[in-house]
Amino acid sequence: MEKLLIATRSSPLAMWQAEAVAALLDIAGFRTELLPLETKGDKKLEVSLAKIGEKGLFTAELEDLLLRGEAHLAVHSAKDMPSQLPEGLEIIALTERENPEDVLVSYQPGIRLSEPGIRVGTSSTRRVATLARYFPTAVPVPVRGNLQTRFRKMQEGHCDAMILARAGVVRMGLAEYIRESLPADIFTPAAGQASLAIEAAENLSPNLKNTIRTALNHPLSEACIISERTFLRKMEGGCSIPVFALCRPETEQTFLLEAGIISTDGKLEVRKQFRFSAGPDYPHAIFRMAGENLASLVLGSGGSDILEKIKAG
């Protein structure tokens, strides 16, 4: 079987994720080679993601390799994927989702987000807006860089604690510093959080695509994330728009999609839920419909006004 060339960001977490994918492909009989790259989002650490305001900050360089035929697939954190992919590219698999919640991490045992004046490191507009709404005494501090860089900045005193995705913290062996699990009905995660997206060129061999998909795709996680990404696309969400979405199974065939938008100052929020049923084969059309219906509900309940104000600056 031919060697698969896998494009990935070069940060330790991204490399861990790509190596995990490569290990699954090795089991399926492939030989693999990683092609690590620095992306624009990795380089522009002095500017907040919202101010950069570009799509694909953590994906564009990897996607160029796919479009040029210099890599067979790229591994991304699903939450970093723009809602609209460049022409000629597609997500061919989504890995099994781990716990998608946000957590508070700190070197200080016993610290809590409710402590007045706590300085909280985050580069996420969603998390900053959520802090402003639900924890107004917290002081957001912009902290960017890979996970190790962020922990070093916290150790140097830039902030007392940070809000991060549990999945990344656990993957990097830093779970001992988790001080608080943040409730998903307040800190609802970004679409796709805790899953890996496998991207490829549309003209990749169908047989090869199917073999990769069989080795990597998790149907339940994929279906739920399709509903979240459909919501994101209709909301025109990106790094500068504080939107959130999480779809979870309640029973074997019943699902709950919770999603919404929050103003950057935290003063306004539209949050809605949509329950729906789907068969055991998780038909994608039903999950897309759930995302579209909930986005229409959010936009029609004041979400469009919040969106317009955010875009107007």
Q: Please write the tens of the pLDDT for every residue from 50-70.
A: 554 455 667 889 999 999 999
pLDDT of 222 strictly over 50: yes
Fold of 1-95+195-217: D-Maltodextrin-Binding Protein; domain 2 (3.40.190)
Is 219-305 the same fold as 102-181?
A: no
Q: Please write the tens of the pLDDT for every residue from 9-27.
A: 999 999 999 999 999 999 9
Q: Please write the tens of the pLDDT for every residue from 241-256.
A: 899 999 999 998 999 9
In this prediction, residue 299 carries a pLDDT of 97
In this prediction, residue 58 carries a pLDDT of 77
**Reported confidence tier of residue 147, pLDDT bands at 50, 70, 90:** very high
Boundaries of every domain in the chain: 1-95+195-217, 102-181, 219-305
Q: How many helices (H) and strands (E) does the chain have?
A: 11, 13
Cα 162 to Cα 15, 182, 236, distances in angstroms: 22, 12, 27
Average pLDDT, the chain: 93
- Give the lowest-confidence range in 3-7, 73-77, 270-274, 277-281: 277-281
Q: Please write the tens of the pLDDT for every residue from 165-189.
A: 999 999 999 999 999 999 999 999 9
In this prediction, residue 280 carries a pLDDT of 86
In this prediction, residue 94 carries a pLDDT of 98
Show which residues are catalytic: 79-80, 126-127, 144, 150, 239
CATH superfamily of the domain spanning 219-305: Porphobilinogen deaminase, C-terminal domain (3.30.160.40)
Q: Please write the tens of the pLDDT for every residue from 283-304.
A: 999 999 999 999 999 999 999 9
Check: CB of residue 176 under 8 Å from CB of residue 168: no
- 252 vs 41, more confident: 252
In this prediction, residue 115 carries a pLDDT of 97
Fold of 102-181: D-Maltodextrin-Binding Protein; domain 2 (3.40.190)
Q: Both tokens of residue 310?
A: 């955010």
Those residues whose C-beta lies under 8 Å from the C-beta of residue 132, and which sit 6 or more positions away, are 140, 264, 265, 266, 267
**Reported confidence tier of residue 148, pLDDT bands at 50, 70, 90:** very high
Question: Measured between alpha carbons, how far is 140 from 159 in angstroms, rounded to an integer?
Answer: 9
